[in-house]
Amino acid sequence: MEVHIHREVYNLLKEAEMLVIASPIYYHGISGQLKCVIDRFYSAAYPRGPKNLKKVAMILSSGDANMYEGALFSFKGDFLDYLRLENMGVFTAHGSENKSEKKREELRAFGASLR
């Protein structure tokens, strides 16, 4: 079952032009779950990235403001520089913004801008 799911993701990755990655901030960085996903990218990205993949965007949620340095280090290092993807933007929300209608609308607009 698990093997099957992995294959499905790898197949989608072969066709994908853009990645949209999302994570809460846990202990000043991306979540352990997203880190595991990035680690699994190694087999798909080595020695060259998935051939159609050109762009990446990131969505982050945190408790406090300005908690994104660790996640941005990973975004830049792993996706912009290592995989040489185009930066389509980073969307962030913190604290009470996470549950606000205004922020939800902004996120919808951000999503719609990703082409």
Ligand X SMILES: Cc1cc2nc3c(=O)[nH]c(=O)nc-3n(C[C@H](O)[C@H](O)[C@H](O)COP(=O)(O)O)c2cc1C
Residues within the interface to ligand X (CB under 6 A): 24-28, 61-64, 67, 98
Residue whose CB is less far from ligand X, 27 or 46: 27
Q: What does the alpha-carbon distance between residue 5 and residue 10 come to, in Å, rounded to a whole number?
A: 9
Residue whose CB is less far from ligand X, 13 or 107: 107
Residue whose CB is less far from ligand X, 62 or 88: 62
Question: Please, what is the minimum distance in Å from the beta carbon of residue 55 to ligand X?
Answer: 24
Q: What does the alpha-carbon distance between residue 8 and residue 4 come to, in Å, rounded to a whole number?
A: 6
- Is-contact 17 54, C-beta < 8 A? yes
